[in-house]
Structure 1
Amino acid sequence: MQGKFDRGPVEFKSHIVQQEGEVMAIATQDVISVPPTQSIISAVATMTECGFRRLPVTDAGTKKLRGIVTSGDVINFMGGGDKYKLVKVRHNGNLSAAVNEPVRTIMTAHPEALPHDARIVDALELIVKKKIGGLPIVDDDGILAGIVTERDVLRMLAAEHSPLFVEDVMSSTLRVTAPDSPIATVTQDMTKFRFRRLPVVSDDVLFGIITATDIMRYLGTREVFARLTTGNIAEVMALPVRTLMAGDLFTTTPETPVNEAAREMLNRNIGALPVIENARLIGLVTEFDLVRAFSEE
């Protein structure tokens, strides 16, 4: 999702002191991880209970990083992309059987990672250039030492004053969905276009926003199994997406300063704000948009 204006190549803040190991100062160091043999449903339940969008996968004994499972991997598995073959082909559509496969079958192996002596600017560069929401940090032996996310970086950068407004950085060309769109269609769109969220619009009115986390929670809370009668995943993925949407909807305006938008996201623990003007949806500003904007100044 591109911002409204193209500012050319990324130029990172010159005032960030580039010291080795500084990324650990903003990273989470007490990291929860799961072994590759843990079941998909157990890993997704952990992500749901802890409010994580990503979960490192490490060897049980050594804690060496083997992969990472994200909310994107989960919706891919549930019907969004190639990982859905695990359900459709290997288990003939039987979701209850497929979720007991080991998490290594859907994780992203050999993920982008940072060394423990990395600088904050190194994290910024990977997050912005690779469009990655979180990066595991490993020591010299490849053992998981921490994880840094775009929210950690945003928390640091948001303290800096910026002259920019939401309209300068928001995504104004949006892909949306309708309240009655099947969940399967939404997972396919998210996977194909690499979106973490889609505005839900009905008759040109913003109905809400659906996120990859909302869909992952559908599986992690086991609500999906309560709705199963035939056992086939197609049955529950045909339900309208409005059944999974969170109740609260927070929005912003194009003239809102980006610092204020960043504080709103951090305080409410949300990853995006729909942008409203004259009661119409005109854009979406995300954590990624803000991190990129702050880093480009």
Structure 2
Amino acid sequence: MKRQQTTKPRITMVGGALDRGGDKLNAHAAIHHGDIFAIATERVVTVPPTTSIMSTVKTMLNHGFRRIPIADAGTQQLRGSIVCRDIVDFLCGGPRHSLVTNRFDGNILAAVNEEVREIMETDVAYRYTDSSIEDVLKLMKEKNVGYLPILDKDESVSGIVTEQDFMHLVAGIEVGASIAEYMSTNVTTVEPDATIGTTGKLMIDNGFRRIPVVKNDILLGIVTAFDILRFLGSGEALTKGATGIDDALSVPVKTLVGREVVWTTSDRDVGDAAEMMAENGVGSLPIIDDGVLTGMLTERDFVRVLTTSRQ
């Protein structure tokens, strides 16, 4: 495959810069009890469970978030979580979509005004403020999640750690392992005329957060769960779905692809890949060898990179 030549809620702030040191991978990920705030973000944006789905989406868009903890407004005690894929699930035919079809008979304009607790995930993995980086790495790998809220002794949200934080730990470090050792090789793609509904359902059914868009063996771009979140939050889904959710979901996915593709080859060091992703603000890299799309490397793979380095 060739590359085309050319990409009103109540918000509570709980009060990080990434503290990176050393020039080797293990120096960047030195393990000490309670050291999680060396990389965690301490000022966390949360929304209460009573916030509407649309207001939650807009908060995520305004901050560029792919996930947000749901917490009580007063105590900041954790009640749930929303990630981009939950919104794709809600919009594109996953279990949460029953809120649209069953309760509101396909009326997306009414459904998005429901409280976010109707679709939030309540079984949320978390760690405490005295946790180590190693504790968090192990749990994120075990649960296969992209972030963990960090709670204090009162069960209140005190911080957040994401897979992006671990990607930054690796960025620019010569790890001594190639991208080929960590990338996914079974890559599912869609054509540009595939609908948003079909693409979103493919994400939900397969646990994807991003899918390459391909035509005639040319990689046109990557569509992500955040792109579909933006489609809803921008109001376009509501406009096109004014007469029913099916009209909104029939929009071609190519309308969501807008930025030039950043890619690399499988023989590069994973530290180089992390640096490319950090510099370009992307959560994944298509891997193209000899003009063929051979794999995908994502931020979550860096959790595996670091857990492997500790073994």
Relative to the length of structure 2, the TM-score reads: 0.87
1:209-228 equivalent positions in 2, closer than 5 A: 209-228=222-241
Query: Which residue is 2:284 aligned to?
Result: 272
Question: CA, structure 1 residues 244+14, in 2 after alignment: closer, same or farther (shift >3 Å)?
Answer: closer
Using the TM superposition, give the Cα deviation of residue 20 of structure 1 relative to its aligned residue in structure 2, in angstroms: 2.5
**Is contact 2:163–2:302 with CA below 8 Å preserved after alignment?**
no
1:51 corresponds to: 64
| 8 Å Cα contact 1:205/1:281 also seen in 2 | no
The one-letter amino acid of 1:245's match is V
Structure 1 letter corresponding to 2:291: A
Does the residue aligned with 2:304 lie in a helix, a strand or coil? helix
Q: Paired residue for 1:8?
A: none
Q: Aligned AA for 1:189?
A: L
Which SS does the other structure have where 2:44 is aligned?
A: coil
Q: Deviations over 1:243-273 (max 9, x none)?
A: 1113221111112221111001111121101
Provide the rounded CA distance (Å) in 1 between the counterparts of 2:30 and 2:179. 27
Match of 2:80 in 1: 67
Residues 1-297 of structure 1 aligned to structure 2 (within 5 Å): 16-158=29-171, 160-230=173-243, 232-297=244-309
Conserved? CA contact 1:114–1:137, under 8 Å = yes
| 1-structure distance, mates of 2:175, 2:169 | 13
Moved more, 235-244 or 122-131: 122-131
CA distance in 1, matches of 2:27, 2:222: 36
**Matches of 1:81 and 1:234 in 2, distance apart?**
14
Alignment gaps of 5+ in structure 1 = 1-11
1:161: how far off? 2.6
Q: Match for 1:263: what amino acid?
A: E
Bigger mean CA offset, 82-91 vs 247-256: 247-256
The count of aligned residue pairs is 285
Identity, % of aligned positions: 40
Is the alpha carbon distance of 1:18 and 1:283 closer, same or farther for their aligned partners in structure 2, counting shifts above 3 Å?
closer
Deviation at residue 225 of structure 1 after TM alignment: 2.3
Q: CA deviation at 1:293?
A: 2.1
Say if 2:68 and 2:83, in contact at 8 Å, map to a contact too. yes
Query: Quick check: 1:251–1:276 contact (8 Å CA) kept in 2?
Result: yes
Distance 1:14 1:270, change over 3 A: closer
Residue 14 (structure 1) shift? 10
RMSD after superposition: 1.7
Specify every segment of 5 or more residues in structure 2 that has no aligned partner in the other structure, as ranges. 1-24
